[in-house]
Structure 1
């Protein structure tokens, strides 16, 4: 790369950071778990950084949008969330993770968690580069992104990214919004289950990716949001996770709406109440 190209790259990066949002390279050594010669098309993992003018809060959020593992709802469950956090003085990153596709990946089941773990490790290792404090890094996930966030929050003792370095893969806190938690029939979101571990289901995979089974005493503190009338992802998902957290005496809170359905993002138009503001207040009140 010539000197002029380096300068232009540096200038574009600085302008993006000054604006508060920049797509950042977080797979410097190449994307993991790909079939040889595969073309990912637009199924490429991306990470977007949102930097507040002043980082007035030490907590940093890794935001994981939903989409049933069939798409990534990166607008209202990603960028919009980061923009609100930015105005409140929080730094955040939005993850566009790979959708699990058999023809592209050696093991499609672990591609999303590889992207999430790689993003978390990147954030922790590059706080100084981005000019932010990364003492506390947590995850905020919606729907299937909530499943991925809960996987990140319960599978942290397993490195899916094969790093030999000493990397902390455990989020410091979790926020799970109408999350898919379990793969158990009758409770799970069938589309998420089919795309991640299907279409033929192995009992071991059903257990492995039912994250209520993976909670232990080291699972991060967790704030949950769910509506009772959610028919796409039943509230039983959040209740199962909360029950497991409580069993291990892990601080948790469920912000429960009577109505709201699924996919409302930051604003439930069917019922009053600001779960987002309440979530931040709850997190800041934790020791």
Structure 2
């Protein structure tokens, strides 16, 4: 299985940057370099395109069950999908570690559009799906699109997703709600209140925030379901379409398949997205 995934990744891998931005001159990047993979079906039958952001607490990436497996399932269903291994926030490597992940996500969102438009497809919708800390990054992409974190991005491509799918997401940076590991990695260790507000994405929802489908287990002890409750409540305040798919059991990190319950959130998500 490892060899299969390695071959698949090598065949699909794309270059995200010519020059990596926001990098200290003295940085030893080691393995903390963005990686970008595309999955294009031989027969494209769907008009939705997905950017997939795996979780990992902003310290690592769950690239298999929250990345490549998701893309492969979407591809099998006729959807185009892309998987991003974004940079881990690292003070010794980046000028401003807080924005390194969203820089990569915005860049990937633009490159994804460029790649798909080469195929001459019409009436497309480009969305994002993120898991855990990748769900935080997906909600950042969905609420910070008025801020261009890469000024060199040009060409008229949109930074706003048409929809978002947030799977057991970190949403808030507020104590008692957030995942402390993600918070410390992204905006710590000396946390400033303005950064708590800036990256608590339930506080950044506005009239044109894209619709969202969220998935969360009520017994999640790693990332409280309160994160999803806050996001959907804020979307409701603006009348933005959303749906929260809940499990009673499942904990955290189950990916597409919650072995504790028989409900299939992925199928429900696809049905919901297709109604947008």
TM-score calculated relative to the size of structure 1? 0.90
3-state secondary structure, aligned to 2:84: strand
Structure 2's unaligned 5+ residue stretches are 1-6
| Structure 2 counterparts to residues 1-287 of structure 1, below 5 A | 22-28=12-18, 30-129=19-118, 135-163=124-152, 165=154, 166-286=156-276
Measured on the aligned residues, the alpha-carbon RMSD in Å equals 1.7
Deviation at 1:163, TM superposition (A): 2.6
3-state secondary structure, aligned to 2:245: strand
- Structure 1's consecutive aligned runs of 4 or more residues displaced over 2 angstroms after TM superposition are 128-135, 163-167
CA distance in 1, matches of 2:45, 2:119: 15
In structure 2, relative to structure 1, the CA distance for the partners of 1:133 and 1:120 (3 Å cut) is farther
Q: Figure out how many residues of one structure are paired with residues of the other and give that number.
A: 269
Deviation at 1:132, TM superposition (A): 5.6
Deviation at 1:126, TM superposition (A): 2.5
CA distance in 1, matches of 2:122, 2:41: 12
CA distance in 1, matches of 2:36, 2:85: 6
3-state secondary structure, aligned to 2:228: helix
CA distance in 2, matches of 1:126, 1:70: 29
Q: Quick check: which has more Rg, 1 or 2?
A: 1
CA distance in 2, matches of 1:197, 1:260: 29
CA distance in 1, matches of 2:57, 2:41: 30
Deviation at 1:20, TM superposition (A): 11
CA distance in 2, matches of 1:263, 1:283: 22
